[in-house]
Structure 1
Amino acid sequence: MSALLDVENLRASYGRVPILMGVDFALAPGEYLGILGHNGMGKTTLMRTLMGHLPATAGTVRFAGTDVTRLPIHQRARLGMGLVPQGREIFATLSVRENLRMGLASAPKEDPRIIDDVLADFPRLVRLLDRRGGALSGGEQQLLALARCLCTRPKLVLLDEPTEGIQPSIIEEIIETLLALKKRWDLSMIIVEQNLDFITSLSDRVLGIQKGRITGEVSREDLLAGRFGMAAA
């Protein structure tokens, strides 16, 4: 089976400071891939580079057979890539409904019925549709950010530090929602996280990242058995 996402020797920098030092990995269709590492190891930079927020200085990113390395963000989104950023970045002064409409604006075809389809998987948001995004709890904002991304009908979601600042009850709800989406939406996902329990609950396998390099891989079987190897370093 061909990879949905194929990353080869990907490098990126902030100014003259190199962050990604030659990242290589592939993602299969329908796979949930975890990327585990401490702060400052390049996790968020990797996600931003994959989505096009930060230009690659070397290497290639191929998505669904298309070289997207130099494509702008909106073209990657229309091909089926979506990012749920660290910190969520919802529109605090807009209502939940308006936030979802903003996501819809990035879809390949703007169809208001998509919002109803998305809300079927986010029942907590239905009663909050008229509430401002800034009035939501951190967990509710994370659910909104994920739902907004899904309004673009992505094939691949890049999910960056989703448990940051979230209460445990909402973390469990997010896990259940993401597992349901995998089955119902035929979704692929890359999950960047430091919460080992969260990433173990969701991932088919996990890559470790240190100082901008992939340092190892752990299968789901080893994750469940508590054998983390290099990925937990």
Structure 2
Amino acid sequence: MSMLLEVSDLRAGYGRIPILAGVTMAMAEGEYLGILGHNGMGKTTLLRSLMGQLPATGGTVRFAGADVTRKKTHERSRMGLGLVPQGREIFPELSVMDNLRMGLAAAPTEDLSVIDAVIEDFPRLTPLLDRRGGALSGGEQQLLALARCLCTKPRLVLLDEPTEGIQPSIIEEMIETLLTLKKRWSLSLVVVEQNLEFITSLSDRILKIQKGRITGETSSAEILSGQVGMEAI
């Protein structure tokens, strides 16, 4: 099985404050990997480091066989890495359609057929294409942020705390959409989350992060069957 992402002893932080203290992990093509941990454990910092938004101070990141440790964010994006950030970060004054077009900004030419293909998997957004992004509900904005990321044609999506402040009906819809994308788009996913039900519904494996290190691994099946207790997570 080929590894899509390989991370070895990754270290990063903010100024003189270290956050990642040597993260080592790997995932295969087509895998959905969950990362579970409490606030302040380094989850968001890990995704930002993988995307190149935060420079590594040590260790290596390999994506699709290439060393991307020193590559810029836009270079990683062109290679097939995509990030849906915590807080969604859509453009509130732009329409839904224009938000999606921003996902095409890095492409050599604007191919609107890409948006058409993405919208097929986000039917809730279809009647909202002319509406301002800021007028959408929090759940609709989260779906828009995910759809915008998919317009970059990523091989691997980094999804940061997607259920934060989202109503249960949208969470269920997001789970169904992501599972469909896994099959139809051959998508790979790293999802950072504290919602145990969400992360177990999606993930093939779940890693526990604590104080900037990966400290354990389990499967969704083991959690759902009770083989792994909550105290171990």
Report the TM-score when normalising by structure 2. 0.97
Does the CA-based 8 Å contact 2:7-2:62 persist in structure 1?
yes
3-state SS of the aligned residue for 1:104? Answer: coil
CA displacement, residues 44-91 of structure 1 (integer Å, 9 cap, x when unaligned): 000000000100000000000111111001110000000000000000
Matching residue of 2:205: 205
CA displacement, residues 83-106 of structure 1 (integer Å, 9 cap, x when unaligned): 000000000000000000001113
Number of paired residues? 233
Cα–Cα, structure 1 residues 129 and 232, in superposed 2: closer, same or farther, change >3 Å?
Answer: farther
Deviation at 1:167, TM superposition (A): 0.3
How do residues 148-227 of structure 1 correspond to structure 2 at under 5 angstroms? 148-227=148-227
Matching residue of 2:28: 28
Does the CA-based 8 Å contact 1:37-1:231 persist in structure 2?
no
What amino acid is the match of 1:31?
E
What amino acid is the match of 1:103?
G
Cα–Cα, structure 1 residues 230 and 68, in superposed 2: closer, same or farther, change >3 Å?
Answer: farther
What amino acid is the match of 2:34?
G
Matching residue of 1:58: 58
Cα–Cα, structure 1 residues 229 and 3, in superposed 2: closer, same or farther, change >3 Å?
Answer: farther
How do residues 44-55 of structure 1 correspond to structure 2 at under 5 angstroms? 44-55=44-55
- Distance in 2, matches of 1:207 and 1:36, equals 6
- Distance in 2, matches of 1:38 and 1:206, equals 14
Question: C-alpha root-mean-square deviation of aligned residues, in Å?
Answer: 1.3
3-state SS of the aligned residue for 1:26? Answer: strand
Cα–Cα, structure 1 residues 232 and 130, in superposed 2: closer, same or farther, change >3 Å?
Answer: farther
Matching residue of 2:41: 41
- Distance in 2, matches of 1:107 and 1:166, equals 31
Matching residue of 1:125: 125
Percent identical pairs in the alignment equals 75
Does the CA-based 8 Å contact 1:78-1:108 persist in structure 2?
no
Does the CA-based 8 Å contact 2:43-2:209 persist in structure 1?
yes
Runs of 4+ in 1 over 2 A off after TM superposition: 106-110, 226-233
What amino acid is the match of 1:191?
V
- Distance in 2, matches of 1:149 and 1:118, equals 10
- Distance in 2, matches of 1:156 and 1:231, equals 30
3-state SS of the aligned residue for 2:157? Answer: strand
Deviation at 1:229, TM superposition (A): 5.7
Matching residue of 2:95: 95
- Distance in 2, matches of 1:215 and 1:230, equals 15
Deviation at 1:108, TM superposition (A): 6.4
What amino acid is the match of 1:102?
M
- Distance in 1, matches of 2:231 and 2:57, equals 25
CA displacement, residues 158-206 of structure 1 (integer Å, 9 cap, x when unaligned): 0000000000000000000000000000000000000000000000010
Cα–Cα, structure 1 residues 30 and 124, in superposed 2: closer, same or farther, change >3 Å?
Answer: same
Does the CA-based 8 Å contact 2:201-2:220 persist in structure 1?
no
Deviation at 1:227, TM superposition (A): 3.3
Unaligned runs of 5+ residues in structure 1 are: none
3-state SS of the aligned residue for 1:165? Answer: coil
CA displacement, residues 84-143 of structure 1 (integer Å, 9 cap, x when unaligned): 000000000000000000011134664210000000000000100000000000000000
Unaligned runs of 5+ residues in structure 2 are: none
What amino acid is the match of 2:207?
L
Report the TM-score when normalising by structure 1. 0.97
Deviation at 1:38, TM superposition (A): 0.5
